[in-house]
């Protein structure tokens, strides 16, 4: 829980130090703490959909072919700034071919490096692609905080309405600026069948919100440990019966020790009641990188089939 520990430890400290601190705390902090501390209530179908990956699945293996990660700059019509993303190109990337693209979104305290550095996504992808268990794909890891200064804020500002709003504003940046820029530079299939979006926590909420409401852009969607920014399925899919048929994969996961699991449970139950097929994988982690690495492992193997 390193990312959140970084974001939350100072908050906890602040409150511990000043028992009547309520009024001094930045808006959003108390609510976030309450959300993380919510009691987990499990139903019979809140169980693993897949076995645990083999040991070492998220460790770089020197003996196999590696993809490369490069910096990608693009002009954002939303922030009016030049923004940075990381792009993973699979081993043997050849501009004469065409590749599907996965957009991977980070959590509230992270940035474009979170998936590669903290979760070790490139080690997971290198191994799956080398074994032929995932299709070679381009993976775009953007900064999902669409504001001019998009650095992670000071810990006590993590949950302010302004900061949360920057994650909402990323929808227009992604659809209007980043996706076209990626398709302009890389050898992508550049259609909805060849585009996936997934994320962890705040990024999970973004992936579900943006993926489900843009069926012409994405048909493969994954939310891992999704945060309270997740909108209800009925709202996301309303009047979009077409999305139901075009969606190739809708994937939800969460740890059964994660206080935010009620968000994913609600989405799962809503989808089930609407009759919308989806994967629901509940593992035994908290709000942890292990859950995110494992779910990337399971999700990536099911993409672009
Ligand atoms: C909240 C609790 C957690 C919240 C966001 C989060 C917007 C996000 C956590 C993360 O990205 O790790 O109440 O409100």
What are the b/e assignments for 161-189, b being 16+ CB within 10 Å?
Answer: eebbebbebbbebbbebbbebbbeebebb
Decide: helix, strand or coil at residue 41.
coil
205 CA to middle of ligand 1, Å?
9
Q: In this model, does residue 210 exceed pLDDT 60?
A: yes
Residue nearest to atom 13 of ligand 1 (CA): 32
**pLDDT tens track for 266-296:** 999 999 999 999 999 999 999 999 999 999 9
Helices 29-36 and 2-17: crossing angle in degrees, nearest 10, is 120
Helices 121-130 and 289-301: crossing angle in degrees, nearest 10, is 30
pLDDT average, residue stretch 179-188: 98
The residue ranges of DSSP E strands in the chain, in sequence order, are 68-75, 82-89, 101-105, 138-141, 195-200, 220-224, 249-255, 279-283
Q: How far apart are CA 103 and CA 139, in angstroms?
A: 6
pLDDT of residue 245: 67
pLDDT average, residue stretch 127-148: 98
Residue nearest to atom 6 of ligand 1 (CA): 227
Q: Is the CB of 32 under 6 A from ligand 1?
A: yes
Atom of ligand 1 nearest to the CA of 287: 12
Cβ neighbours around 128 below 10 Å, total: 21
**246 band by pLDDT with thresholds 50, 70 and 90:** confident
**97 band by pLDDT with thresholds 50, 70 and 90:** very high
Q: Is the CB of 11 under 6 A from ligand 1?
A: no
Is 119 in contact with 293 (CB distance < 8 Å)? yes
**pLDDT tens track for 14-70:** 333 233 345 678 899 999 999 999 999 999 999 999 999 999 999 999 999 999 999
Query: 169-183, 200-214, 233-247: lowest mean pLDDT where?
Result: 233-247
200 CA to middle of ligand 1, Å?
10
pLDDT of residue 23: 63
Q: Is the CB of 295 under 6 A from ligand 1?
A: no
Entry field: residues in the chain:
305
| CA-to-CA dists, residue 266 to 165, 205, 209, 261, angstroms | 22, 13, 14, 9
**Angle, CA of 281, 255 and 137, to the nearest 5°:** 55
61 CA to middle of ligand 1, Å?
33
Question: Both tokens of residue 129?
Answer: 């692609």
Q: Is the CB of 202 under 6 A from ligand 1?
A: yes
pLDDT of residue 19: 32
pLDDT of residue 225: 98
Residue from 57, 139, 70 nearest 102 by CA: 139
Query: 16-20, 54-58, 137-141, 235-239: lowest mean pLDDT where?
Result: 16-20
Burial of 280 from C-beta contacts in 10 A (0-12 / 13-18 / 19+): buried
pLDDT of residue 10: 34
What is the residue-wise DSSP string for 111-146? -TTIIIIIS-HHHHHHHHHHTTSS---EEEE-----
Residue nearest to atom 5 of ligand 1 (CA): 227
**9 band by pLDDT with thresholds 50, 70 and 90:** very low
Q: In this model, does residue 5 exceed pLDDT 70?
A: no
98 CA to middle of ligand 1, Å?
36
175 CA to middle of ligand 1, Å?
23
Looking at residue 188, the DSSP 8-state letter turns out to be B
* pTM greater than the 0.85 cutoff: yes
Mean residue pLDDT of the chain comes to 92
Mutate to test the pocket of ligand 1, among 111, 143, 170, 202 (most ligand atoms within 8 A of CB): 202
226 CA to middle of ligand 1, Å?
8
Over pLDDT 90: what percentage of the chain?
A: 88
| CA-to-CA dists, residue 232 to 78, 184, 199, 200, 212, angstroms | 25, 33, 17, 17, 11
pLDDT of residue 238: 77
Query: 3-17, 66-80, 115-129, 205-219: lowest mean pLDDT where?
Result: 3-17
List, in order of start, the domains of the chain with CATH numbers.
2-301 (3.40.50.1820)
pLDDT of residue 237: 86
């Amino acid at each position: 829980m390193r990312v959140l520990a970084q974001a939350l430890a100072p908050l906890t400290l602040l409150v511990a130090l000043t028992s009547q601190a309520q009024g001094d705390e930045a808006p959003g902090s108390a609510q976030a703490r309450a959300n993380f501390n919510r009691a987990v209530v499990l139903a019979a179908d809140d169980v693993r959909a897949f076995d645990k990956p083999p040991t070492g699945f998220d460790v770089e293996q020197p003996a196999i072919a590696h993809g490369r990660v490069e910096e990608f700059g693009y002009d954002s019509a939303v922030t009016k700034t030049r923004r940075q993303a990381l792009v993973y190109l699979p081993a043997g990337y050849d501009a004469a071919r065409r590749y599907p693209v996965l957009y991977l979104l980070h959590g509230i305290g992270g940035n474009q490096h979170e998936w590669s550095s903290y979760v070790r996504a490139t080690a997971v992808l290198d191994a799956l692609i080398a074994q032929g268990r995932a299709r070679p794909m381009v993976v775009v890891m953007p900064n999902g905080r669409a504001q001019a200064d998009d650095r992670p804020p000071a810990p006590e500002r993590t949950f302010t309405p302004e900061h949360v709003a920057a994650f909402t504003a990323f929808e227009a940046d992604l659809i209007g600026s980043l996706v076209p820029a990626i398709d302009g530079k890389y050898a992508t299939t550049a259609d909805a069948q060849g585009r996936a979006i997934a994320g962890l926590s705040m990024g999970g909420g973004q992936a579900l919100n943006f993926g489900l409401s843009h069926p012409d852009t994405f048909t493969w969607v994954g939310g891992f440990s999704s945060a309270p920014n997740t909108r209800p399925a009925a709202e996301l899919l309303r009047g979009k019966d077409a999305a139901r048929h075009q969606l190739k994969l809708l994937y939800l996961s969460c740890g059964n020790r994660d206080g935010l699991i009620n968000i994913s449970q609600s989405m799962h139950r809503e989808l089930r009641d609407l009759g919308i097929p989806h994967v629901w994988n509940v593992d035994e982690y908290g709000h942890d990188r292990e859950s995110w690495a494992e779910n990337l492992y399971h999700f990536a193997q099911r993409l672009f089939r």
